[in-house]
Amino acid sequence: MFEHAGQGYAAHGTLCGALGVSSYLINMVVYDEKHSYSALIDRLFWWYAQMEFPTERFDDISACPKQVKAQAMTPLCHTSVSKWTLAAGTEVTSKEKYERCAKVAGEVTYTVVHALNEYFEGKWKPAIWTPSKETTHCIECHGPESYGRYADGMNQQQGHMECLLCHDDHMKDE
């Protein structure tokens, strides 16, 4: 049913398919007036970007246990998988990569179920995103209006990804 989400949605390498499907399900079961679904999804993406994948949680059922780990840095499939294949010294079409992605999908599912259980038990508290130390100065000028200070006409950034993953730090040379 969600096969279209594979390989970053029809092989475009955009959002990790496990995150997209999980977001859809979270939105369906946590649709409330407080927009809690949005906070749950935000926290899921933030968690994913900080994780080193694959974890060892599913190694006992994997054909490729004890794989090399690499931090995703972003919810984008292209970047997460590319960082991992480079670290693992393998190719994107390898059996190891498909095992890695299967483990990531399992880890995402495990994390979503845990968060939903906490939510429905009334124990879940939304985390407040703060930029990393390396990108705080980026967000001060380019971040959304709701975050701290920003220069007029410069609030062009809306996401919670690490800026320096895709952009050069133009302030570093100054």
Condensed to tens digits (0 to 9), the pLDDT of residues 36-69 reads 999 999 999 989 998 999 999 999 999 999 999 9
Number of CB atoms found within 10 A of residue 61's CB = 10
Cα dist from 103 to 52, 160, 161, whole Å: 12, 24, 22
Both 163 and 100 in a single domain? no
Report field, pTM of the whole predicted structure over 0.75 = yes
In a domain? residue 153 = yes
Report the domain count for the chain. 2
pLDDT of 84-136, one tens digit each? 999 999 999 999 999 999 999 999 999 999 999 999 999 988 777 777 888 88
In a domain? residue 125 = no
Both 136 and 112 in a single domain? no
Domain assignment of residue 81, given as a range: 3-120
* Angle ∠(17,21,26) on CA atoms, nearest 5: 140
Both 55 and 95 in a single domain? yes
In a domain? residue 113 = yes
Both 101 and 27 in a single domain? yes
